[in-house]
């Protein structure tokens, strides 16, 4: 019988031969099998390795960069995950300086192999300890080989490109200003809105109605407000000349003070100091719509013949422009808020577009020094156009010749290094 023969002495030899092959095969499988390589789930994960730390470049000494190699168990193919995250502990070395916290702990997610600690004290050495954290416990901790100290750098190297551009523009402004001082004549194109200011004040004088000047709803720390107050001084001078009344409700007390000074200076310049009325330049409210309610109420009651809006405006721009339009005022507006310009264009007779608001002071005074600054701005525009063209050409080249690395590298340098820091 077959079975009996297999169980005979010959079959025993066959079994021994097979066992001689199978045993090493099973051992080999045991070594390479991922199932066998995976430790039981009840054990804690393997420790991360190679923890390194260095001072964060180009900062004020408050940050340290940390890098490490992930735990061998921090792998996405392991389900469920054996590493849920990392625990990074920081301790100051030696006597902690003022403000240096002890026992700082950062909980980081899995798969993260770098971290920037931005809560350091400049000059304080720190030691870090890192461990992987899993559902079954924590790994052994690895510690930094030696303490690392965050240092203050004197220059933020990530912003060098922006610094170069700023220096170029400021240099151009100063150079053209100096040229203008030496008597070099400069041409400035006509700006209809600024030419119309005198006409608007004249109209208000003829009609016997006041001129309303709204210097925006932001404080003096906004350059657009400063530019608006500069325009106010010229409007006030014209109003003083024509003996027209000028009213300036403000939404910030500091703007009120600056506006009072500007109007007082304008009345002095026009030799009409007796006509100056400080109570016409007053504070209303810091609240946006409370201010809007007052100004629109004033417009409806007093019906000013000329309304000027210069500075920073938000949602109130259209409310002002439409109310002014409904009372038949001639309206001139200018703002640095690009999103509000369409509303002023729709509602006002004249609008200062973009940089025209900042050019107004130079245009109105015709002072050589101020005109020189306009030429400097033009040099900045030339630079901006050059950079835009270069960027467009490089981006097109990257698309047309994807294998050519030179334009891709140049584009990366332009957008990432030169312009990225600003």
Q: Which of residues 55-114 bind another protein (CB under 8 A)?
A: 58-61
Should residue 290 be labelled a site residue for another protein when binding is judged by CB under 8 A? yes
Stretch that binds another protein, among 38-46, 76-84, 110-118, 169-177 (CB under 8 A): 169-177
Should residue 169 be labelled a site residue for another protein when binding is judged by CB under 8 A? yes
The residue whose two tokens read 């709803």 is 217
Q: Which of residues 109-168 bind another protein (CB under 8 A)?
A: 152-156, 159, 163, 166
Q: Find the binder of another protein among 194, 210, 252, 313 (CB under 8 A).
A: 252
The residue whose two tokens read 């030179």 is 406
What are the residues facing 130 on neighbouring strands?
88, 142
Give me the half-sphere count of Cα atoms (radius 13 Å) on the Cβ side of residue 61: 11
C-alpha 408 chain-centroid distance: 25
Least distance to another protein, CB of residue 293, Å: 5
Counting residues that bind another protein (by CB under 8 A) gives 91
State which residue, 229 or 327, has the beta carbon closest to another protein.
229
Q: Which of residues 253-272 bind another protein (CB under 8 A)?
A: 253-254, 256-258, 260-266, 268-269
Should residue 304 be labelled a site residue for another protein when binding is judged by CB under 8 A? no
H or E element, residue 111: none
State which residue, 159 or 179, has the beta carbon closest to another protein.
159
- Cα(43)–Cα(48) distance, rounded to whole angstroms? 15
- The contact mask relative to another protein for 318-337 (x = CB under 8 A, - = no) is xx-xxx-x----------x-
CB burial readout 320-348, b (16+ within 10 A) else e:
bbebbbebebbbbbbbbbeebbebbeebb
The residue whose two tokens read 């870090």 is 128
- Cα(80)–Cα(52) distance, rounded to whole angstroms? 29
- The contact mask relative to another protein for 361-400 (x = CB under 8 A, - = no) is x--xx-x-xx--xx-xx--xx--x----------------
State which residue, 50 or 286, has the beta carbon closest to another protein.
286
- Sign of the torsion formed by the C-alpha atoms of 368, 370, 376 and 381: negative
Least distance to another protein, CB of residue 283, Å: 4
Stretch that binds another protein, among 4-12, 93-101, 279-287, 389-397 (CB under 8 A): 279-287
Least distance to another protein, CB of residue 37, Å: 48
Should residue 237 be labelled a site residue for another protein when binding is judged by CB under 8 A? yes
Q: Which of residues 190-219 bind another protein (CB under 8 A)?
A: 219
Ranges of H-type helices in 243-277: 253-269
Should residue 184 be labelled a site residue for another protein when binding is judged by CB under 8 A? no
SS3 92: strand
State which residue, 58 or 85, has the beta carbon closest to another protein.
58
Least distance to another protein, CB of residue 88, Å: 24
Terminal C-alpha separation, the chain = 91
Residue 196 buriedness (CB in 10 A; 0-12 / 13-18 / 19+) = middle
Least distance to another protein, CB of residue 46, Å: 38
Q: Find the binder of another protein among 14, 18, 37, 315 (CB under 8 A).
A: 315
Ranges of H-type helices in 243-367: 253-269, 288-302, 316-326, 341-347, 356-365
């Amino acid at each position: 019988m077959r079975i009996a023969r297999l169980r005979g002495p010959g079959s025993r030899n066959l079994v021994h031969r097979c066992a001689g092959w199978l045993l090493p095969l099973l051992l080999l499988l045991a070594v390479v099998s991922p199932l066998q390589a995976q430790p039981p789930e009840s054990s804690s994960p393997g420790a991360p390795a190679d923890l390194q730390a260095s001072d964060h470049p180009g900062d004020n000494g408050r940050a340290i960069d940390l890098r490490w190699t992930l735990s061998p168990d921090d792998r996405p193919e392991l389900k469920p995950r054996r590493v849920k995250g990392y625990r990074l502990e920081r301790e100051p070395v030696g006597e902690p300086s003022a403000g240096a916290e002890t026992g700082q702990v950062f909980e980081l997610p899995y798969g993260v192999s770098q971290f920037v600690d931005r809560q350091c004290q400049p000059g304080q050495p720190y030691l870090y300890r890192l461990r992987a954290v899993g559902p079954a416990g924590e790994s052994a901790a690895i510690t930094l080989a030696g303490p690392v100290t965050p240092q203050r750098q004197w220059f933020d190297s990530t912003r060098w490109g922006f610094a170069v551009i700023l220096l170029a523009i400021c240099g151009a402004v100063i150079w053209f200003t100096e040229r203008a001082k030496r008597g070099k004549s400069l041409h400035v194109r006509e700006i209809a809105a600024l030419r119309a200011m005198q006409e608007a004040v004249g109209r208000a004088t003829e009609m016997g109605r006041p001129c309303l000047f709204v210097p925006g709803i932001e404080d003096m720390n906004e350059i657009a407000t400063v530019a608006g107050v500069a325009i106010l001084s010229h409007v006030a001078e014209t109003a003083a000349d024509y003996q027209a009344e000028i009213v300036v409700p403000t939404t910030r007390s500091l703007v009120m003070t600056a506006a009072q000074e500007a109007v007082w200076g304008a009345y002095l310049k026009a030799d009409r100091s007796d006509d100056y009325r400080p109570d016409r330049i007053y504070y209303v409210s810091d609240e946006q719509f409370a201010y809007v309610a007052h100004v629109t109420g004033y417009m409806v009651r007093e019906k000013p013949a000329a309304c000027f809006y210069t500075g920073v405006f938000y949602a109130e721009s259209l409310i002002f422009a439409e109310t002014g339009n409904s009372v038949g005022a001639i309206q001139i507006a200018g703002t640095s808020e690009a999103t509000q310009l369409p509303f002023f264009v729709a509602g006002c007779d004249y609008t200062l577009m973009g940089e025209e608001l900042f050019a107004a002071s130079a245009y109105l005074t015709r002072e050589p020094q101020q005109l020189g600054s306009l030429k400097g701005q033009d040099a900045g525009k030339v630079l901006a156009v050059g950079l835009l063209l270069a960027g467009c050409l490089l981006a097109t080249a990257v698309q047309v010749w994807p294998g050519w690395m030179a334009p891709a590298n140049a584009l990366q340098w332009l957008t990432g290094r030169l312009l990225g820091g600003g």
